[in-house]
């Protein structure tokens, strides 16, 4: 076993913590530490405790490692993990000269005597530890260490009143830039009020709202473009993206089927929309989201995205759209949160399972990332035409699912209603929403 074995060091250091727990420590905290070390109720279903991993993933014996990097009984020299002195209030419980593990993301030393008021914060810290620390053998790809529902509750409770950072984003979907060209090209179904729709006004209004509301970023959940888009509209859109970029308001997006179709314009007045999107990404005025987390505007918010048919901008046209199943999506390692997922398909719970393209409950169950909310585009009307309650849902595990209407009036429910976008204020404490007319 080589020096710097993360798994062994975490195991030994947490074992010191576990042996130091006083009887008066909160029982759930005792169970949480035990679950990580030896297995228990708070261990995630797919995870293995560190004790079992020591047996399965390390070639040498822990005692030999302790002889080289400790006192023969336990590790005392740590090179693979960060350790620290116990909190002043915990020193009397921990043997002298012993160190305790530090939570990897927050940099806080794990507490020993934890009260019922402190247990959520303590569990949130413990949840920062890797499900599969580096060892002699690789793990099986598990990302979640503790029970996801309990961790979600712990993070939400621990953050209340703690002054956690807020990130404000403008949630936009279905701008369908170039939609009014359908009147000339005859391509696609058009609303009878198509002469009232102006893509250039739509994108200008979105820019204005973003600036007036002082948002940190714009999140666009697909169908940026309609399938026949003209160069004048794209020039106007590029100008607005550039202004937002200069003001420090980045725009993030996933793409949709109409964006795909824009790569193959059929009308002489249309241009290749995908080529334009690639140009915006190259210029840095647009960032495409993926299954790997993207940190939004330097804030604590990380955002993931799955484009239509699971085909990103660079892959449009390389193979036929085929749809996707939750088991095909592997999300990158999550930050402590908040974490947001952007999608644009026919989803549950908006649609019933019999007609949905993707079962969102299945996707979240398959995922090792705990999402604080899911933002979805695609639907051009609120469910049951309920403009008060038809845009917000919850999955079976309680994850909020939010829709925003199309940013242009491209469907019948908006014949006599304004299109809108939604400002979201996101933090560990929760999410607030405000609609703004486009």
DSSP character string of 39-55: --TTB-TT---HHHHHH
Q: What does the DSSP 8-state code read for residue 4?
A: -
Stretch 374-401: mean pLDDT? 93
Q: Which token pair is 70? A: 């400790």
Alpha helices in 262-393 (DSSP H): 273-283, 360-366
The pLDDT tens digits of the residues spanning 171-183 come to 999 999 999 999 9
Q: What does the DSSP 8-state code read for residue 229?
A: B
CA distance 205 to 201: 6
Q: Residues of the chain with pLDDT > 90: what percent?
A: 73
Please report the pLDDT score of residue 251 as a whole number.
97
CA distance 318 to 5: 43
Of 335 and 118, the one with more pLDDT = 118
Q: pTM of the entire structure? A: 0.67
For residue 201, the surrounding DSSP H or E stretch is helix 199-212
CA distance 7 to 123: 19
Beta partners for 431? Answer: 426
Stretch 68-81: mean pLDDT? 89
Residue among 169, 190, 232 at smallest CA distance from 408: 190
Query: Residue 161 above 50 pLDDT?
Result: no
Query: Residue 319 above 80 pLDDT?
Result: no
Show Cβ contacts of residue 142 under 8 Å, excluding neighbours closer than 6 positions. 44, 46, 47, 48, 131, 132, 368
CA distance 273 to 228: 8
């Amino acid at each position: 076993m080589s020096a710097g074995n993360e798994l062994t060091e975490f195991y030994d250091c947490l074992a010191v913590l576990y042996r130091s727990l006083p009887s008066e420590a909160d029982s759930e905290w005792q169970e949480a530490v035990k679950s990580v070390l030896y297995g228990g109720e708070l261990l995630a279903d797919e995870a293995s405790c560190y004790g079992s991993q020591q047996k399965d993933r390390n070639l040498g014996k822990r005692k030999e490692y302790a002889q080289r990097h400790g006192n023969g009984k336990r590790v005392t020299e740590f090179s693979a993990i960060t350790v620290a002195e116990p909190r002043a209030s915990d020193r009397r419980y921990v043997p002298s000269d012993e160190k305790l593990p530090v939570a990897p993301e927050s940099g806080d030393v794990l507490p020993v005597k934890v009260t019922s008021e402190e247990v959520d914060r303590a569990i949130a810290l413990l949840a920062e530890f890797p499900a599969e620390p580096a060892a002699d053998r690789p793990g099986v790809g598990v990302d979640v260490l503790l029970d996801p529902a309990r961790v979600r509750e712990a993070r939400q409770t621990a953050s209340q009143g703690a002054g956690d950072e807020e990130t404000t984003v403008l949630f936009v979907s279905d701008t369908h830039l170039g939609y009014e060209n359908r009147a000339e090209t005859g391509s696609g179904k058009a609303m009878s009020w198509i002469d009232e729709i102006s893509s250039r006004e739509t994108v200008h209004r979105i820019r204005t709202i973003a600036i007036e509301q002082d948002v940190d970023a714009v999140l666009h959940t697909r169908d940026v473009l309609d399938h026949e888009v003209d160069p004048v509209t794209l020039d106007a859109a590029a100008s607005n993206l550039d202004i937002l970029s200069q003001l420090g308001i980045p725009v993030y997006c996933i793409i949709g089927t109409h964006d795909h179709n824009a790569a193959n314009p059929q009308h002489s007045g249309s241009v290749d929309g995908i080529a334009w999107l690639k140009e915006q990404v190259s210029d840095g005025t647009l960032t495409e989201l993926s299954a790997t987390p993207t940190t939004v505007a330097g804030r604590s918010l990380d955002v993931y995205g799955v484009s239509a048919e699971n085909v990103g901008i660079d892959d449009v046209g390389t193979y036929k759209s085929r749809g996707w199943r939750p088991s095909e999506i592997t999300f990158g390692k999550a930050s402590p949160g908040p974490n947001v997922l952007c999608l644009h398909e026919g989803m549950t719970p908006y649609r019933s399972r019999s007609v949905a393209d993707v079962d969102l409950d299945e996707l979240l169950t398959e995922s090792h990332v705990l999402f604080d909310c899911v933002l979805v585009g695609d639907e051009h009307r609120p469910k049951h035409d309920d403009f008060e309650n038809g845009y917000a849902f919850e999955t079976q595990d309680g994850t909020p699912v939010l829709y925003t209407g199309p940013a242009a009036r491209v469907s019948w429910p908006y014949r006599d209603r304004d299109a809108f976008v939604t400002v979201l204020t996101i933090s560990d404490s929760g999410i607030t929403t405000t609609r703004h007319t486009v």
